Amino acid sequence: MDNGSATMISPDTAELENEVIRKALSQATQPLTCKQLRDRLTGPYKLSEDILTARLTAEIAAGRVYAFAATGRGQALRYWTRSAEELARETLLRYLAQRPHTRAELLRKAKSTLAGFSEERQKQLLAQLVREEHVQELPPLLGGRTKFYSAKPANPRDYLEDALKKLGKKLACSREDILRAAGLLNDAPAAVPQNSANESLLTRMVQIKLAAAQGGLVPLNELWHSLRTEGWDKTSFDRAVLHLAESYRVALQRHNFPNSLSEAERAELVADQLGNYYVGISLR
Amino acid sequence: MTSLLHSITNPFRSAIVADPWHWDIVDVPEIHQSAFELCRRALEHVRTQRQSTSILLYGEAGSGKTHLLARLQAYLAGLVKIYGQAPPAVFVSVRLQTSPQMIWRHLRNRFGEDLLRPTTDGRPQLERILLPRLKECSPTIGEPQTWLERLQRDARTSAAAVAEMEDALDALDQQAQLNDRDLVIVLAHLLLGRFRRDARAWLRGESLPEAALAQLGVNTDQDGDPEERARRLILSLSRLIGPELPVVFCFDQVEALQSHPQDLAGLLKFGQMVSFLRDETSNAVLVSCILAQFLTTLSQAVISSDRDRLSTFGERALASLTPPEAKRLIEARLAASPDLRSERPAAADRFWPLRESDVDEALQRKKDTPRALLSFCADKFDAYWQPEAPAQVSPTQDFLAQELEERLARSAATSSTEQTDQIITHGVPLLLRLFDTRWEQKALSRFRDADLVFESPRGRVSLSLCNQRNMTSLAGRLRRLREQAAEQVLEDVTREKFVLLRDARLPISSNARRTREHRDQLAGAGFHWLTVSAEMIAALDALRGLLSDAKAGDLANGGEALLPATVQDWLRDSLDAKLRPLRDLLDVLLPEVPATTADDPDFNLCEDISELLHNHFVVSVADAACKLDRAENIIEACARRNPERFGVLNGPPLVLFQLTPSAADVADAPQEVS
């Protein structure tokens, strides 16, 4: 029986190639030019730029791929599986995950990335993100009138630091003088390392995944990889995770079939003394 | 007293909510409140913004995902009152026990089924949503329920009543832009109570014979891509329901879309489906539930934009129970038992007959999901009431044997020919992998009308499903296969097999000459015709159900989810005994086993007898011989050669009867009852 090989490209082969193209585009963090896309394709899927352009044009017509204007000095169109609105959405959320921004500051920052997506639409999108509770509207700083936007709840420390700075300027004294005067600073040692570790772990969760702030799950192997680069060791990491779970600040999700995992895969997870392996962590 | 206590039902034993439509359960609203609130807010968002959205929920096995969906269903049905009046909405529950190539048809089937499901006032969801819509578009109809009752009464005798209904639906069609003539016609039938069985079947996407389609007045040409047809109908139904009324699609057991851990095709399709619904409808709340450990697999399988669309409105982990939640759950369970209430001593502890320390102990031992906690407390309860009784947890082998037996009985009683395609496309990949893990499902085939293609070092198997009730569609498929086969030659029949598969309960009528002719021609060209017995289908259904539940963490023995690999191993070991019909099925499917269909002299006669029994159920051999114009001894010999299809009762008179899985027990070897 023949193997079905043929010199003509069958519709199935073309569809498979299109799927690979879409997958490559979808994995990109921003729109790609045809050349950049080709660089990401391998083996039989490294199509010529002409064919790739034709395929992309067809995908655009079918509404599965979107074209974006060239940026900077480049002349080439860029392509992505996400629409201009999605690009804008991701861009705004990315900036707001880093720290709170005023609206003007945010729009200024996003301007070059979101060429072609009008400022008015960006404002509408920001309002929509607030309605959907992906972004929070934070109150102005002490004495200010401009509101802030952030993907995380307001951090009192930001407001306190700003207030201390303003007060220090007004009274011409140092931050420490003010804190000592308020009885908030003495010679006691700083917070115990465990607490500090816990807090940085919680902060990192939200940095890895915005949705973690609202109860979304962060894979523990991802969290571990992220903190390992900052000098954490696995024992301290496991201890901090289990400690946070015992104090009901976070909830852990077990792997129900740990025996189906390899030893290496299990080593990436957090284990307790009862033989449970945890795969994910979420804020309570 | 002791004997009375022994008769009290353990209030912790019924721990698993298997179906979101069942709400006869104890609920503690504080548990997973945040996830529930997220669902409520999403509903409100869709209602006010008129934009579809989606939520992703995940938790461990036994964390209460299905329970949460049941709470949502009950809330929308007005059975949960603490949140006030629920907004009107349509609830659709979809367990993803299906194959990637039938995912839209599966959704259409569930959508249709749930729209026809009666609500608390006895009326189906469909009627409840349609009447206000009709009133909105045709204000002159007055009070809609009274109007409908009048039309239903008059429609039997008056064409004017039918015309009035058509006018009202026409106005709705124009406003909602359904663009689906057949749907409007079927809606009229459903509302007027005409051709109910066939109209319901059509809405669920089931195959109907030409005569039934003609009677309904809908298009009898069922060619074209059935997945595309299903997708279009879902969009039309969504528009029919209207922009102000959310449709809550709850997707459970997403894990069941994988036939093995490396199989990502089903998940990719699922991501595309949710993404499409989110983008192309304006009133859908899409809630997907998965095991927490499955999140990484899902994220890798779907393209990233689809992954984002799975949780547009947010995602929530269903957290393990806190001590107050755990205690509240145990108290609620105890309080819901009327037997215990009457036995309770006046000064008893609130956890009586358990102790608070029991709950603390459970949490210390990490029995902190609702299912694990309830199972732990069930054992404690038994130990207090009946210390001498044996432990309730069965060994895994016994548990699985009992589960399989129950599922086989259930499938035999409930699986209909409409489900055959679904069961085959989902079950056969699992069966082949169970037999030999090297079998891989392939997407590409030279034959466009092949539904499933599998390859392994053993060879290649292609399956074409021929379960159409509509003989024109079946003849069309067989004709196309003949054309596709015309230039292909089956070179090595020990390495490659093309199987045309049809449910034995769907005989090919003697009038369907063209269909029979195509079949004979294909058989002559090396294609194998496989008539699948009801027993095989029931066994395949039980197998896929067990494996799907295991993958989703829903198969638990004593509170502990069973490892899918354990279930697979046990099923593999059971193929020669408890699952004998599946061994027989494998024997026909595997390429190295020769089949005898090309010159099967019994084929047409089998179909004729089957058709006769389909209409009359029990027929004497003498009558059958007379009706089929064949000698009695030929009829009898044919029936005895096909014991998987026909039952024979020794006479006199010698009688043939239609064999069903349950009847198979009666007519079991030697297939004769004097």
- How many structural domains is chain A composed of? 4
Q: Is B564 on the interface with A (CB under 8 A)?
A: yes
Q: Which of A216, A259, A260 shows the shortest C-beta gap to B315?
A: A216
Q: Collect all residues with Cβ–Cβ distance below 8 Å to A3 and sequence separation of at least 6.
A: none
Mean pLDDT for A99-109 is: 88
Q: Determine whether B388 is exposed, middle or buried from the number of CB atoms within 10 Å of its CB (0-12, 13-18, 19+).
A: exposed
Q: CA-CA distance, B293 to A219, in Å (whole number)?
A: 9
Residues forming beta bridges with residue A148, ordered by sequence position: A138
| Pairwise CB contact (< 8 Å): B366 & A272 | yes
Looking at chain B, the domain(s) classified CATH 3.40.1350 span: 414-589
Residue ranges of B 236-295 with Cβ closer than 8 A to chain A: 291-293, 295
Distance, in Å, from the CA atom of A211 to the CA atom of A55, rounded to the nearest integer, reads 35
Structural domain range at position A140 = 84-148
Structure tokens at B376: 């732990």
| Contact B319/A at CB under 8 A | yes
Q: At a CB cut-off of 8 Å and minimum separation 6, what does B469 contact?
A: B207, B208, B209, B212, B417, B506
Q: What digits encode the pLDDT tens for the residues B158-198?
A: 889 999 999 999 999 998 888 899 999 999 999 999 999 99
Residue A185 has what pLDDT?
58
pLDDT digits (tens, 9 = 90+) for B28-47: 999 999 999 999 999 999 99
Query: So what's the pLDDT on residue B52?
Result: 96
Torsion of CA B8, B65, B204, B536, to 10 degrees: -70
Nearest C-alpha in B relative to A86: B305
Q: Is B437 on the interface with A (CB under 8 A)?
A: no
For chain B, the average pLDDT equals 88
A21: DSSP letter: H
Cα separation, B289 vs B254, in Å, equals 7
Q: What is the pLDDT of residues B571-591, one digit of tens each?
A: 999 998 889 999 999 988 888
Euclidean distance between CA atoms B516 and B395, whole angstroms: 51
Name the closest residue on chain A to residue B442, using Cα atoms: A12
User: Pairing relation of β-strands A66-68 and A78-80?
Assistant: antiparallel
A–B CB contacts, 8 A cutoff, strictly below: 117
- Which one, of B246, B245, B270, lies nearest residue B257 by Cα? B270
The yes or no reply on domain B603-666 and CATH 1.10.10 is yes
Which of A256, A260, A277, A284 has the most B C-beta neighbours within 10 Å, making it the best mutation to test the interface with B?
A256
For the ranges A161-170, B53-62, B505-514, the maximum mean pLDDT occurs at B53-62
To the nearest whole Å, the CA of A2 is away from the closest chain B CA by 8
CA distance B330 to chain A (A): 20
Residue B531 bridge partners (DSSP): B502
Beta bridge partners of B453: B442, B462
Residue B394's alpha-carbon distances to A121, B367, B407, B556, in angstroms, are 62, 19, 17, 11
Indicate whether A7 pLDDT > 60.
no
Question: CATH no. for residue A72?
Answer: 1.10.10.10
Kindly state the percentage of chain B with pLDDT values over 70: 92
Which residues between 109 and 138 in chain B have a beta carbon less than 8 angstroms from any beta carbon of chain A?
Answer: none
Is A247 near chain B, with CB under 8 Å? Answer: no
A272: nearest CA in chain B? B366
Residue at A188 is within a domain: no
DSSP track, A91-108 = HHHHHHHHS-B-HHHHHH
Q: Residue range A177-189: average pLDDT?
A: 65
DSSP string, A152-171: S---HHHHHHHHHHHHHHHH
Residue B4 pLDDT greater than 70, yes or no: no
Q: Do A26 and B489 touch (CB under 8 A)?
A: no
- Residue given tokens 């990719």 in the structure block: B268
pLDDT (tens digit per residue) in B358-415? 999 999 999 999 999 999 999 899 888 777 766 666 789 999 999 999 999 999 888 7
Asked if the Cβ–Cβ distance from A1 to B495 is below 8 Å, we say: yes
pLDDT at B599: 54
Does the distance separating the beta carbons of B60 and A256 come in below 8 Å?
Answer: yes
B32-89+247-320 adopts what CATH topology?
A: Rossmann fold (3.40.50)
Instruction: Compute the distance between CA of residue B657 and CA of residue B654 in angstroms, rounded to an integer.
Output: 10
Q: What is the mean pLDDT of residues B623-642?
A: 88
Residues 60-79 of B with CB under 8 A from A: 60-61
Which chain B residues are within 8 Å of A214, Cβ to Cβ? 314-316
pLDDT tens, position by position, A214-260: 889 999 999 999 998 888 899 999 999 999 999 999 999 999 999 88
Chain Cα centroid distance, residue A123 = 21
Quick check: helix, strand or coil at residue B554?
Answer: coil
Contacts of B386 (CB under 8 A, 6+ apart): B6
For residues A58 and A107, membership in a common domain is answered with no
Ramachandran quadrant class, A77 (left: phi over 0; alpha: psi -120 to 50; beta: rest):
beta
Q: Where in chain B is the domain with CATH 3.40.50.300?
A: 32-89+247-320
pLDDT band at A69 (very low <50, low <70, confident <90, very high): confident
On whether the pTM is more than 0.80, the answer is no
More confident residue, B271 or A179: B271
Helix (H) or strand (E) holding B523: helix B513-524
To the nearest 10°, report the CA torsion of A36, A39, A45, A51: 50
CA A211 to chain centre: 9
- Residue A266 in contact with residue A277, Cβ under 8 Å? yes
CA distances from B507 to A7, B31, B210, B217, B597 (A): 42, 52, 15, 25, 16
Q: Which residues 40-99 of A have a C-beta within 8 angstroms of B?
A: 81-82, 86
Whole-angstrom Cα Rg for chain B: 27
Task: Using a CB–CB cutoff of 8 Å, tell me whether B443 touches chain A.
Answer: yes
Name every residue whose Cβ is closer than 8 Å to that of residue B583 and which is 6 or more positions away in sequence: B575, B576
Task: Count the neighbouring beta carbons within 10 Å of the beta carbon of residue B505.
Answer: 22
Q: Chain B, 454-473: which have a CB under 8 Å from a chain A CB?
A: 460
How many angstroms away from the CA of B389 is the closest CA of chain A?
28
Closest-CA residue to B110 (of B259, B277, B260, B263):
B277
AA letter at B184: V
Residues from chain B contacting residue A13 (CB–CB below 8 Å): 444
> What integer is the mean pLDDT of A16-43?
82
Whether A88 and A76 map to the same domain: the answer is no
What angle (nearest 5°) sits at the alpha carbon of residue B503, between those of residues B501 and B506? 125
Cβ distance A4 to B45 less than 8 Å, yes or no, reads no
Is B518:B472 a contact under the CB 8 Å cutoff?
Answer: no
> CATH 1.10.10 in chain B, residues?
603-666
Closest listed residue to residue B330, CA positions, set B352, B315, B361, B300: B352
Angle at B258 between CA B256 and CA B264, to 5 degrees: 140
Phi, then psi, of B455 in degrees rounded to 5: -135, 150
pLDDT at B594 over 70: no
ipTM score above 0.90: no
DSSP class per residue in B574-609: HTTTTTHHHHHHHHHHSTTS----TT-TTHHHHHHH
Closest-CA residue of chain B to A24 = B303
- Note whether B366 contacts A132, CB cutoff 8 Å: no
Domain membership of residue A106 (yes or no) is yes
Residues 6+ apart with CB under 8 A from B397: B570
For residue B593, pLDDT over 70 is answered with no
Tell me the sheet residues that pair with B56.
B288, B315
Residue B141, by phi and psi: left (phi above 0), alpha (psi -120 to 50) or beta? alpha
Q: How far is CA B416 from CA A45, A265, B104, B204, B608, in A?
A: 44, 43, 19, 13, 21
Phi, psi of B289 (to 5 degrees): -120, 130
Check if A219 contacts B (Cβ < 8 Å).
yes
List of chain A residues whose C-beta atoms are within 8 Å of the C-beta of residue B444: 4, 10, 12-13, 16
pLDDT value of position A192: 39
Quick: pLDDT tens for B231-246: 999 999 999 999 889 9
Confidence (pLDDT) at A1: 37
Q: How confident is the model at residue B6 (pLDDT cuts 50, 70, 90)?
A: low
Question: Which residues in A lie closer than 8 A to residue B293 (C-beta atoms)?
Answer: 253-257, 279-280
Strand partners, A32: A79
Give me the pLDDT at residue B390, please. 64
Closest approach of chain A CAs to the CA of B305, in angstroms? 6
What pLDDT shows up at residue B668? Answer: 38
Question: In 3D, which of B89, B133, B129, B112 has the Cα closest to residue B286?
Answer: B89
Do the Cβ atoms of B345 and B352 come closer than 8 Å?
Answer: yes
End residue of a domain, out of A80, A110, A140: A80
Q: Are B378 and B392 in contact (CB under 8 A)?
A: yes
Q: Please, which residues have CB within 8 angstroms of residue B103's CB and are 6 or more apart in sequence?
A: B96, B227, B257, B266, B269, B270, B273
Kindly identify which residue of chain B lies nearest to residue A221, measuring between CA atoms: B296
Domain B414-589 top-level CATH class: alpha beta
Phi and psi at residue B618, to the nearest 5°:
-130, 130
Q: Least CA distance to B294: which residue of chain A?
A: A255
Confirm or reject contact between B554 and chain A (CB < 8 A): no
Q: Which of A169-183, B54-68, B220-234 has the lowest mean pLDDT?
A: A169-183
* pLDDT exceeds cutoff 70 at A189: no
Residues of A whose CB is below 8 A from B60:
253-254, 256
∠ Cα B528 B590 B563 (to 5°) = 135
Q: Note whether A280 contacts B292, CB cutoff 8 Å.
A: yes
Q: How far is A64 from chain B (nearest CA, A)?
A: 11
Q: What is the pLDDT of residues B485-533, one digit of tens each?
A: 776 655 555 678 899 999 999 999 888 899 999 998 888 888 889 999 9
Nearest alpha-carbon partner for B341 in B11, B3, B672, B81: B11
Confidence of residue A213 (pLDDT cuts 50, 70, 90): confident
Q: Does A29 touch chain B (CB under 8 A)?
A: no
Q: Which helix (H) or strand (E) holds A280?
A: strand A277-283
- CATH assignment at residue A141: 1.10.10
Q: DSSP 3-state assignment of B256? A: helix
| A242 at interface of B, judged by CB pairs closer than 8 A | no
User: Residues for chain A: how many in total?
Assistant: 284
Other CB atoms within 10 Å distance of the CB of residue A184? 10
Range in A193-197, B252-256, B442-446, B663-667 with the lowest mean pLDDT: B663-667
Cis peptide before B652 (omega within 30 of 0): yes
